[in-house]
Amino acid sequence: MAHSHKGHNHVWADDLTRNQELVLGTLAHSAAPLSAYDILDRLRDDGLRAPLQIYRALEKLTERGLAHRLESLNAFVCCADAHCHASGSIAFAICEGCGKVEEFAQPEVESRLKGWSEGAGFVPNRMTIELRGLCRGCASSSPA
């Protein structure tokens, strides 16, 4: 019965396993990032019981760029931009008020960092760029 998701209608890659699809679906329906345990809690009714099941799915999903890990939050988001697999690195703006995350590409930033790397003899294979702060809405409502 495995791989029984043949009949589904999602836009994502079509060769996800059941667990991967469940995890990605959960992320997709959430406005804010979710920790692995958050995800697990929401998938108990679907038969998932152990953290490892979530982590394994997340590993595959992030490898493929369908989900991203927010390092400063120990949490995950669904990739917002279908094209982000093509573009290189991505930056995130994380609102500490409402929890929402915006994903944006900054090619200039990326090339600057690559430039520094070349000069330093550093061979990068992953870059993390995360801004913490307040989104427009939260900044205007809590002036501080």
Partner DNA sequence: AGCCGATATGTTATTTAGTTACATGACCCT
Partner DNA sequence: AGGGTCATGTAACTAAATAACATATCGGCT
Residue 48 CB neighbour total at 10 angstroms: 21
* Site membership for DNA, residue 18 (CB under 7 A): yes
Q: Which does 57 bind (CB under 5 to 8 A by kind): a copy of itself, DNA, none?
A: DNA
As a whole number of angstroms, the longest Cα–Cα distance in the chain is 55
Q: Specify the DSSP class assigned to residue 64.
A: T
Determine phi and psi for 19, rounding to 5 degrees. -65, -40
3-state secondary structure of 32: coil
Binding mask 41-80 for DNA (x = CB under 7 A): ------xxxxxxx-xxx--x-------------xx-----
3-state secondary structure of 63: helix
Site for a copy of itself in 70-129 (CB under 8 A): 71-72, 91, 93, 95-96, 102, 104, 106, 108-109, 112-113, 116-117, 120-129
Footprint on this chain of a copy of itself (rule: CB under 8 A): 71-72, 91, 93, 95-96, 102, 104, 106, 108-109, 112-113, 116-117, 120-136, 139
